[in-house]
Homo-oligomer: A and B are copies of this chain.
Amino acid sequence: MNHRTRIIKTTGVIAAFCISLSAQLTASAQTSKKLTSYVNPFIGTGAVKGSLSGNNYPGATVPFGMVQLSPDTRDEPEWDAACGYDHNDSFIAGFSHTHLSGTGAPDLFDILFMPYTGDEKTRAGDAKQVGSGYGSRFSHANESARAGYYQVKLDDHDINVELTATAHAGFHRYTFPKNSKAKVVIDLNHSLKKPNFGCQVIAAQFKMVNDHAVEGFRVITGWAKLRKVYFYAEFNKTIKSNDLVNGGTQNFDQKLLNGTDLRAIFDFDVADGKPVLAKIALSTVSTQNAKLNLDTEIPNWNFYQTVTQADSKWEKELEKIKVEGTAEQKEIFYTCLYHTFIQPNNYADVNGDYTAIDYTVHNTKGGFYSTFSLWDTYRAAHPLYTLVQPERTAGFVNSMISQYNTYGYLPIWQLWGQENYCMIGNHAIPVVVDAVLKGTPGIDINKAYEAVKNSSITNHPGSPFKAWEKYRYIPENIQSQSVSLTLEMAYDDWCVAQLAKKLSKTADYQHFMQRSQNFKNLYDIQSGFFRAKDTDAKWQTPFNPLQYGGNGGNPYTEGNAWQYNWYVPQDVKGLISLTGGDKKFTAKLDTFFTLTSKPGEVNGNASGFIGQYAHGNEPSHHITYLYNYAGQPWKTQFYVAKIMSELYNTSSSGYAGNEDCGQMSAWYVFSAMGFYPVNPASGVYVIGAPAMKKSVMRLSPIKTFTVLAPNRTAENIYIQSAKLNGKVYTHTYITQKDITDGGVLEFVMGNKPNMNWGTAINDRPVK
């Protein structure tokens, strides 16, 4: 059975569910098909036959929620299943409550639940692996998922598991075989593979609250350097007996257990044939807050009501953009939109409490958002939020500023409120500047400027600003990944300058504009590439523009000189000039998209190749749009259409690489609408080739921006002409104001390039 199919088998207990769920979900869907019906949570969950995947999980979550309740198909997930789930696996270790969507590194996997029948089993050779004794085989034939809902039958136990979620809580529904020995294990030691990232449980506790409830916590180190995870869980049935297990020691019917390797095993009576329901909320602050979260969000035992509520929450968010296209396009589009709205995650409790980066408890009314995979998401995901999630964007920015207040600089990669310094640069800066310059309400512009400025002058791991000021490039012998860093820091500086300009801070503006030109100091005219220098300004040799770097020890971050050749979004004109003019620039782009030579070792993050272009990783994401800047927009149209049709699909390997917390999806969402934020903070969107016949972006209750391309087909990928609000439009870009004023952008598409549209030399995107 195709993993994409979401038909639920109408046999046994699952049939009963179907009727119940359908009754509740179809009422509102009868008039028009709900957008949530296009969401396929299995897209990107596992590579098919050596192809690529997104590292997405199929479990239940709500938009920007703290809880992601999803099956873990590994006892101890590693890099290759960083989200906990691999569609190629046929084993489920259990269902944990927190997951990362599409990241390259694993973490979270908190508070694993697993129902099972009979006595603990030990899989051969796995005796020491926590939880493996309870794991079960499963089949995709008996698995289904939709936005906010996941279901699977556990073959080894004959249990049907259904999961849903609220912002802070998971809701489980386990249908056991009647009269079976029904058990549920809760594992507080389930984690990424120890001791990777120094992962260890520092402390954990179970405390039986009464014969229906248990609370506790775990404190754990990992990719996030220290997390406090408190929980409060309730069951609909009496816990007949419990076994609190500490390592290898069992403690029957004890009220409490402390330790680091803890499991709780609860027995239930299922002779009545009714399912066991469990609901559990999390908090970073206390078990009391976890209980408050649970009582607030799931006050009753109506599982399907929570499923319906989750669906409604998703529907509300997905309605921000309505598109018309093929069924496949809509499945890809709405799954992408779904993936972009999974995070950033609000870790504040319902009362506003949260644990800050300095491990003190703060309170906020605006939400405390984390999961900032900024090196990825500043490119398109955050610009998308700025357009369609303005309130949450204020929450994101204010959360980043909250980190600045406590930590002295904006986040680099913030996970569960903790900084892990993953990747390079400080790309919260473009996010903050983008949000402020586009007029997002609810942000203190002066505080925002203080934050971006101090983040640009305070040395921190990966950001050696003193060297930046001294050398006007990053010397590789001071900081590796120096070419990528030089290029990306120059862009961040340009953003700081724009906000300085807005605030009439002329000296700052000039200073940061000057720094934003530092990219030129690493351009080697002879080779025609950005190359690494040392502190003596000597070029690093030997140089091979195809040679890949990783995440350290090499000038290029997860890429090569070819891929980083194009990273000057703040001054593409300057880059064209360095390259030798429009013709040489477009010729070089042509080579880039067709040069298939590869060195011996390609960085694992580089994938989804078109020539040297690697759509599977972020450094390439803006490159297709650069043809517009040099008068050949039809080539942009060609490659954008090619990527959308060839590098996205509805399979479990539907992404060309890690989905990266919404970035890979946001690229599609923008591109499918027909434009892309090459320079996210500039307020300019470069026109590509719309994939949809119609896209309507809702900007406010009374304002929309519509893109029409009624004759777009698989062949008609080229823009023949355009109109903006009924007037002929020849620019190859639109501006923020064009969008926020509302209106209609209409394209006539054709199967051949119209080389006369949008090619005037003065028609380049402005900055």
- Which residues of A line the B interface, CB within 8 A? 198, 200, 202-203, 205, 207, 217, 219, 221, 225-226, 228, 246, 249, 251-252, 254-259, 285-287, 358-361, 407-409, 419, 454, 458-461, 466
Contact = CB atoms under 8 A, between A and B. Distances in A.
Q: Which 7 A-B pairs have the closest CB atoms?
A: A256-B408, A251-B459, A286-B360, A202-B226, A202-B225, A228-B359, A203-B225
28 contacts: A198-B200, A202-B225, A202-B226, A203-B226, A205-B358, A205-B407, A217-B358, A217-B359, A219-B226, A219-B359, A226-B226, A228-B359, A249-B459, A251-B459, A251-B466, A252-B466, A254-B458, A255-B408, A255-B454, A255-B458, A256-B407, A256-B409, A258-B407, A258-B408, A258-B419, A285-B360, A286-B360, A361-B361
A292 to B, nearest CB: 14
B258 A460 contact: yes
A525 B86 CA distance: 64
A458 B198 CA distance: 32
A225 B205 CA distance: 14
A123 to B, nearest CB: 27
A137 to B, nearest CB: 34
- List the number of copies, as a whole number: 2
A203 B461 CA distance: 13
A256 B458 contact: yes
Residue of A207, A254, A258, A458 ringed by the most chain B CB atoms within 10 A? A258
A458 B249 CA distance: 13
Contacts of A454: 255
Contacts of A251: 459, 466
A485 to B, nearest CB: 15
Given A251-B466, A256-B409, A256-B458, 20 more contacts: A202-B221, A202-B225, A202-B226, A203-B226, A203-B358, A203-B359, A205-B358, A217-B359, A226-B226, A228-B359, A252-B466, A254-B458, A255-B408, A255-B454, A256-B408, A257-B408, A258-B407, A285-B360, A286-B360, A287-B358
Nearest to A203: B225
A454 B461 CA distance: 49
A191 to B, nearest CB: 16
Contacts of A254: 458-459
A221 B219 CA distance: 12
A199 to B, nearest CB: 12
Contacts of A221: 202
A259 B203 contact: no
B408 A207 contact: yes
Contacts of A461: 246, 259
Contacts of A285: 360
Nearest to A407: B258
Contacts of A203: 225-226, 358-359
A252 B361 CA distance: 31
A172 B205 CA distance: 41
A174 to B, nearest CB: 28
Contacts of A207: 408
